[in-house]
Amino acid sequence: MRTPILALAAAIAVFAAACSDRESPAAGAGATPGSAALQWSPCGGRAECATLEVPLDWANPGAGTIELSVIRYPARNPGQRIGVLMANPGGPGGSAIDFMKTWQAIAPAAIRDRFDLVAFDPRGVGESTPILCHERLQELVALDPDPETDAEWRAAERVSKAFADDCAAAAGRLLPYVGTKNVARDMDALRQVLGEEQLTYVGYSYGTTIGAVYADMFPGRVRAFVLDGGTDQSLDYETVAVTQMIGFECALQAYLADCAAKRCALARDGDPRAAIDRVIAMAEQAPIPAPGADRPAGPGEVQLGIIAALYSKFTWNQLTGALTRALAGDGTGLVELTDFYLQRNPDGTYPNLIEANYAVNSVDAACPRDPLAYRSMADRFAKLAPTFGRAAATSGLVCAYWAAEPDPLGVPRAAGAPPILVIATTNDPATPYEWGKALSEQLESGVLLTYRGEGHTIYAQGSACVDDIVNAYLLNLAVPAAGATCGDGPPPPGQQAGPTPAPRTEATPTRSARLAPAPADGSAAAAPAANDGDEGETPPPPPETDAGSGAPATWGYWLAGLLLLAMAVAFAGIGVAQARRGRPGG
């Protein structure tokens, strides 16, 4: 069975729900901590850190408090300061503080000059009263992601239930209150304590869910929000899971096509697809020895290692090397990809991103509570996504046993908010293009920017076209024209390639018809030829990364969502490119 890992989706935490739980901008103000200002202290370089106390239960402030960890990088040009720009990398479960330490160094110079860059770890995550219950995570990782026998299913159910029970015992009081609605309330409390009338925000993947929920609850507090890798909060559990896994199948096909075209090492002796099948079969028969790691590569490590590398083209070469070594009987590279993704430390310990991911997703959406439902789902998904489909269902088993009741999110409208910029990448495996397009249409002031290319999210990751449009919006509130497009990959299905419209300043975007979910049969429409809409320099692949390097990573429990790994790798590549050009990083 797939570990909660393969099930995690860096970007999904929402399904159909009737109410949006919208609040007035001042809602919750009475319960905001009374301190007039945060007590900042130096915490490395230009960074300042502080702790904010917020209610555990915003509906009952007297029920106790929790602590949120906050980091700030003051604007480098205080005389031209615009305000606070908050950022979140996604997950749920990814540390926004760890992310900000990397992101602030490669964000465009004008953004660093004119904004205080602020991030906080959401409740239950990282350093903010964390949920800690991952002692069985290694066992989850090692489970067969493609269970077929009754014995394999019983093992999956046993380990999943034990993991959920551990979390209930360790953090049962906190679990009901870690949903995104409360994260949005925390975010507004932080805004108030910072003394800001409005916020500027950049959210990636699940970070777009935080941004959309905040804008829906507090539309008057929005200055400029960028939601990169948008999530569609109208979809039900099964649609989310199968759509994402089809996305990963498409990403695998793109990798295989690139490998074949370039005659990579995996293709020199035949079909690269057949080579991957051989590696998977080898691990199913017996774990592949990994002399350079502390354990062999079993079926779980093999599949997770492959998925980990599909989030970004920057890791395709590393995937080729890992698979080639595995064919020769050495699974070290696949174990390293798995451990890098999970932030596994050299001593075998993990951060809390996985349990936090389960916790948030299990509150934000209603999942099936009958374990047998996942077995039936797995059989259906395997027909649509033969490599990863079964894992999309089986990794959700933890939710079947989760203790906290759901408080599902609704479809965000953000009525009355100024224009909100949504970015969707045409071949994003974790948050498919149609999700971002749908989010841009669900938000009453949503504006869509399309990036024609590969990978999960794109802003500040090498596309000059995207960066120019986003920077103009963040700095000057210049809204791109309808149909704005960057990148030189195929356009979205049903669209013709064309020039990128210039940014505009009008507040009312032009709307287009909502894109339907991916076809149930997993097919994809043929795409017209691409244009040359993006002239940005693509950074070179980063050097090999050691396992346990601490690079951020996240998952959503019903589908693979390696947002932070992809972004860490992309940002590492950008850092290398900048260093080679002599551009300062911080």
Task: Flag whether pLDDT at 10 surpasses 50.
Answer: no
Mean pLDDT within 546-571 = 32
Which pairing describes strands 48-55 and 199-204: parallel, antiparallel, or unpaired? unpaired
Best-predicted range by mean pLDDT among 23-27, 135-139, 321-325, 564-568? Answer: 321-325
Residue with the bigger pLDDT between 508 and 155: it is 155
The partner residues of 83 in beta bridges, in order of sequence, read 115
Average pLDDT of the segment spanning 456-483? 96
User: Would you kindly state where each structural domain of the chain is located, as residue ranges?
Assistant: 12-130+183-230+416-512+559-581
pLDDT band with cut points at 50, 70 and 90 for residue 25 = very low
Q: How far apart are CA 426 and CA 428, in angstroms?
A: 6
The residue type at 384 = L
Give the burial string for 365-383 (b: 16+ CB within 10 Å, else e).
Answer: bbbbeebebbbebbeebbe
Q: Which residues are catalytic?
A: 205, 428, 456
Q: What does the alpha-carbon distance between residue 381 and residue 364 come to, in Å, rounded to a whole number?
A: 23
pLDDT of residue 493: 60
Q: Give the pLDDT of residue 246.
A: 83
CA 490 vs CA 485, 525, 533: distances in Å:
11, 11, 11
* Residue 438 near residue 514, CB atoms below 8 Å: yes
Q: How far apart are the first and last CA of the chain?
A: 43
> Which residues have a Cβ under 8 Å from the Cβ of 42 and sit 6 or more positions away?
48, 49
Predicted confidence band at 200 (pLDDT cuts at 50, 70, 90)?
A: very high
Could you tell me the pLDDT band of residue 74, with boundaries at 50, 70 and 90? very high
Contact 208, 229 (CB under 8 A): yes
CA–centroid distance for 577 within its chain = 24
SS3 assignment, position 309: helix
Higher pLDDT, 401 or 269: 401
Residue 26's alpha-carbon distances to 10, 58, 342, 570, in angstroms, are 30, 13, 38, 38
d(CA 524, CA 111): 38
pLDDT-above-90 percentage for the chain: 61
Least Cα distance to 399 among 4, 30, 1, 87 occurs for: 4
What is the dotted CATH code of the domain comprising 12-130+183-230+416-512+559-581? 3.40.50.1820
CA of 537: how far to CAs of 198, 532, 580, in Å? Answer: 33, 13, 13
Run of H or E residues at 223: strand 222-228
- pLDDT per position as a tens digit, 106-151: 999 999 999 999 999 999 999 999 999 988 888 888 888 888 889 9
The yes-or-no verdict on residue 570 having pLDDT over 80 is no
Structure confidence at residue 251 as a pLDDT band (50, 70, 90):
confident
From the number of C-beta atoms within 10 Å of its C-beta (0-12, 13-18, 19+), residue 59 rates as exposed
What is the structure's pLDDT at 252? Answer: 93
Name the phi and psi angles at 268, rounded to 5.
-70, -25
Task: Dump pLDDT digits (tens) for 300-334.
Answer: 999 999 999 988 888 999 999 999 999 999 999 99
What confidence score (pLDDT) does residue 118 get?
98
* DSSP letter, residue 493: T
Secondary structure in 3-state letters for 517-542:
CCCCCCCCCCCCCCCCCCCCCCCCCC
The answer, yes or no, to whether residue 155 has pLDDT greater than 50, is yes
Rounded distance between C-alpha atoms, residue 363 and residue 369, angstroms? 13
- The DSSP code sequence of 478-527 is PEEPTT-EE-SSPPPTT----PPPPEE--S-PPP-PPPPPPPTT------
Helices and strands (H, E) in the chain, number of each type: 19, 12
pLDDT score at 496: 59
The pTM score is 0.77
DSSP class of residue 44 equals S
- Total residues found in the chain within this entry: 586
